[in-house]
Amino acid sequence: MIDSYIKAGYPAIVVETPEENRALKEIKRIAEDLELEVALWTSTKGFIDGLNGRNESCKDPVSALNMASELMEDTVYVLLDFHPYITSPDVWRLAKDMFKEQKSRGITFIFVSPQFKVPLELEREMVVTDLPLPGREDLEKIMNDIAEAAETKPPENKNDVLDAALGLTITEAENAFALSLVEKEGFDAFTIARVKENIVRKSGVLEIFSPDTNMESIGGLSNLKNWLKNRVSAFSPEAQAYGLPAPKGCLLVGVPGCGKSLSARALAAEWKKPLLRLDAGRLFGSLVGESEKNTRRALEIAEAVAPAVLWLDEVEKGLAGVQSSGRSDGGVTARVFGQFLTWLQEKKSPVFVIATANAVEQLPPEFLRKGRFDEIFFVDLPSKKEREEIFKVQLNKRNRNPEDFNISELAKATNKFTGAEIEEAVVAGMFAAWNDGRREVTTTDILSAAGEITPMTVGMADRIDSLRSWAENSARMANSVEKKNSGPARVIRNRG
């Protein structure tokens, strides 16, 4: 985009990036291609002209801007870390004058900073862009250069290593590769992924998780699990050559505690892809334009890390206030929401979005429109058969043989329980047995513990019926299709 803006005659371009050296290299390449001169300014070294040498006395921002009048025509003038000065009235006023005066001479100002708040007075004169994170080819070149310097061979599992490094800057990738060589004496994908986890967390807008569960750890939800398993192969090169599009994602709506969030974590493990969690609340900043910038940065990281799973947990909370955004926050929430919807609709990168919601009535209608997701699933309370599966999963998880328990009786006793409450009953029963002489847990212990639990769905019959009514024509069942023993409610048809 930088070269396009220069060709179009933009007087001032802001490049927001932490990769200063890479930005400079790219700008110099563009200038060479367009046969332009390059000049540079920093507050520590002053003004540096490729032809006339250095002027160290020109270290203040006013002098830096004035130096533009002394440049040769058709010059790219790069100013590094100018963001602390641009908000001063004396500086932005002079900048406005200089942009106008020097445009006719072919002078293009390029401001390179990790962040840059454009003053209101300069919004029509300046355009903001960023530097895309390095792709696989860039990372592979770095890996090969480091391997050569360390006198070792590139790894055989090259694709796994590069997948682990996607989403890192050039410097971060160099450090991650070097750390892997020191710790593992080779290029280790897990070590590099660990470095990436820490870096992504520092971004403040995304969290990255190492998969800690799998599909077998989920009881029930057979329709959802089968659908997800059928989509995994669509990320392969063979599927792309066949003509299949990369899956967009799915929306899971339903009763809290019934496995929606667990499904997101299990999906990443099943597909062996990174799991990124986007907390919508972290996107919103106090500065003008900060929320939009955070959103752009989060989506940029997700695309750079791709193929990946992007998890939006309890998405309705992050979208609260969209309808009233124009009155309550100057339209910030609506703009962020629109930015995300556009990306969701048009994205080409293999980022599978899995969003979960407990309250469908709080979701904006635009979010539920066809084309945003491949499928919308309704996650209901588990049926008796599904409760049996959940008990087996929970007992196996705690090194107990399900055959030693009366699973059918446990399932009957936990009608209207969520999966989370069934887990709570198993854990509470084990605590009871442990405190009673460290003996082995029994069916009776778990039944007693379950009797002490009041299901959260008690008193929610109307809300659950409302969800089921909505799902009848608007969603596909995540659970296996059978009549539920969970109170008076209509039977949901399986759509599709």
CA–CA dist 466, 130 (Å, integer): 45
User: Bigger pLDDT: 214 or 36?
Assistant: 36
Same domain for 435 and 359: no
**Final residue in a domain of this structure, among 352, 379, 406:** 379
Same domain for 359 and 239: yes
Question: What does the longest C-alpha to C-alpha distance in the chain come to?
Answer: 89
Q: What number is the average pLDDT over the span 13-41?
A: 92
Reply yes or no on whether the pLDDT at 331 is more than 90.
no
Same domain for 286 and 256: yes
Same domain for 64 and 167: no
User: Bigger pLDDT: 97 or 208?
Assistant: 97
Same domain for 374 and 391: no
Reply yes or no on whether the pLDDT at 65 is more than 90.
yes
Q: Give the C-alpha distances (Å, rounded to integers) separating 315 from 53, 261, 325, 346, 453.
A: 55, 11, 17, 20, 28
- CATH number, position 422: 1.10.8.60
Same domain for 222 and 181: no
pLDDT of residue 165: 87
pLDDT of residue 286: 47
pLDDT band at 51 (very low <50, low <70, confident <90, very high): low
pLDDT in tens, 223-260: 998 888 888 777 777 887 898 887 889 999 988 888 88
Same domain for 346 and 232: yes
Look at the chain and report how many structural domains it folds into.
4
Is position 478 within any domain? no
**Residues spanned by the domain of 263:** 215-379
pLDDT band at 485 (very low <50, low <70, confident <90, very high): very low
Reply yes or no on whether the pLDDT at 371 is more than 80.
no
| Residue burial 112-134, b: 16+ Cβ < 10 Å; e: rest | bbeebbbbeebeebbbbbbbebb
Is position 473 within any domain? no
pLDDT in tens, 440-467: 999 999 999 999 998 888 878 888 888 8
Is position 475 within any domain? no
User: Bigger pLDDT: 320 or 136?
Assistant: 136
Question: Which residue carries 């209207």 as its tokens?
Answer: 416
Is position 471 within any domain? no
**Final residue in a domain of this structure, among 130, 161, 183:** 130
CA–CA dist 14, 126 (Å, integer): 7
Among candidate residues 129, 121, 79, 83, the one with its CA nearest the CA of residue 100: 121
Same domain for 144 and 117: no
Is position 373 within any domain? yes
pLDDT band at 370 (very low <50, low <70, confident <90, very high): confident
Same domain for 183 and 144: yes
Same domain for 113 and 87: yes
- Any idea of the CA torsion for 15, 18, 19, 20, to the nearest 10 degrees? 70
Q: What percent of the chain is predicted at pLDDT more than 90?
A: 39
pTM: 0.71
**Final residue in a domain of this structure, among 345, 379, 413:** 379
CA–CA dist 150, 299 (Å, integer): 34
Please provide the average confidence, as pLDDT, over all residues in the chain: 85
Is position 493 within any domain? no
In which order are the strands placed within the sheet that holds 37-42?
53-55, 46-49, 37-42, 75-80, 107-113, 12-16, 126-130
CA–CA dist 169, 133 (Å, integer): 6
Q: Give the C-alpha distances (Å, rounded to integers) separating 243 from 101, 121, 227, 232, 238.
A: 53, 49, 19, 15, 9
Q: What percent of the chain is predicted at pLDDT more than 70?
A: 89
User: Bigger pLDDT: 80 or 201?
Assistant: 80
pLDDT of residue 292: 76
Q: Which of 40-44, 113-117, 424-428 has the highest mean pLDDT?
A: 424-428
Q: 10 Å Cβ neighbour count for 182?
A: 10
Same domain for 104 and 40: yes
CA–CA dist 239, 245 (Å, integer): 8
pLDDT in tens, 251-306: 999 888 888 888 888 888 877 778 888 877 667 654 556 677 778 888 888 887 77
Same domain for 389 and 374: no
CB 255 within 8 A of CB 377: no
pLDDT in tens, 383-434: 999 999 999 999 999 999 999 999 999 999 999 999 999 999 999 999 999 9
Among candidate residues 140, 147, 202, 205, the one with its CA nearest the CA of residue 166: 140
Three-state SS for the chain is CHHHHHHCCCCEEEEECCCHHHHHHHHHHHHHHCCCEEEEEECCCEEEECCCEEECCCCCHHHHHHHHHHCCCCEEEEEECCCCCCCCHHHHHHHHHHHHHHHCCCEEEEEEECCCCCCHHHCCCEEEEECCCCCHHHHHHHHHHHHHHCCCCCCCCHHHHHHHHCCCCHHHHHHHHHHHHHHHCCCCHHHHHHHHHHHHHHCCCEEEECCCCCHHHCCCCHHHHHHHHHHHHHHCHHHHHHCCCCCCEEEEEECCCCCHHHHHHHHHHHHCCCEEEECHHHHCCCCCCHHHHHHHHHHHHHHHHCCEEEEECCHHHHCCCCCCHHHHCCCHHHHHHHHHHHHHHHCCCCEEEEEEECCHHHCCHHHHCCCCCCEEEEECCCCHHHHHHHHHHHHHHCCCCHHHCCHHHHHHHCCCCCHHHHHHHHHHHHHHHHHCCCCCCCHHHHHHHHHCCCCCCCCCHHHHHHHHHHHHHHCEECCCCCCCCCCCCCCCCCCC
